[in-house]
Amino acid sequence: MKSKSKVAGIILAAGEAKRMGRSKLRLPYGSGTILDAVIGAARRSPLAPIIVVLGHKAAAIRATVDLEGLAVVDNPRYRQGQSTSLQTGLTRVPDTCQGAMFLLGDQPRITPSLIGKLVDSFDSRRDRLVIPRHQGRRGNPVIAHRELFPRISKLTGDTGARPLFREFSDHIRWVESADGSLFFDVDTPGDYKTLLTSPAQAD
């Protein structure tokens, strides 16, 4: 699949997984790991390049997860919160890209179909933010126009891009999805059990 606008994919995989109590991104899922599932969906989508931001347990992830052909970058400030991973990922986005999609490394049910739908929506109007929504509830992943990159560089803490949603609320393109998995991530042992025992929804 090709994107007319060259949207980069930034997979955020640097967190400490404190609520899980262990390195969740390397937990088995499908034929690989949780992070492998996210990377696999990105590889089968229009995103290019695909950038993976590592931090906690970076060496172990490199040894376990298939990162071949991806742009992998370490975030030495990962303990300062998710905003630092957004900023680290943006350092590897080429000037030719009009936007960047931020994907959570612990969201293994994300699909190439949903990613493609968001990229198509971005391509059609180039809104500053493109965000998926299911039954009125905001989910992930999110696309930010490159005009917002300087603003993202000023974010702090563990809020991710959420402050932008308020600040640029008049410039959001909402994309409706039938897939409730767009806000399912694996934060706790209970989430992991749900991942393994409940069927994924179709998008």
DSSP assignment of 118-177:
HHHHHHHH--SEEEEEETTEE-S-EEEEGGGHHHHTT--TT-TTHHHHHHTGGGEEEEE-
> Rounded mean pLDDT of 178-194?
86
Q: What is the distance of C-alpha 129 from the center of its chain? A: 14
165 exposure class (CB count in 10 Å sphere: 0-12, 13-18, 19+): middle
For domain 7-194, the CATH class is: alpha beta
Q: Which residues contact 95 (CB under 8 A, 6 or more apart)?
A: none
Q: pTM to 2 decimals?
A: 0.92
* 72/81 Cα distance (integer angstroms): 18
Given a cut of 90, is residue 154 above it in pLDDT?
A: yes
> Rounded mean pLDDT of 76-80?
94
* 129/71 Cα distance (integer angstroms): 23
Given a cut of 80, is residue 180 above it in pLDDT?
A: no
Q: Tens of pLDDT along 103-120?
A: 999 999 999 999 999 999
Q: What is the pLDDT of residue 201?
A: 58
Helix (H) or strand (E) holding 104: strand 99-104
* 173/158 Cα distance (integer angstroms): 24
Query: Which structure tokens are listed for 135?
Result: 């039954």
Q: What is the pLDDT of residue 200?
A: 66
Q: What is the pLDDT of residue 1?
A: 47
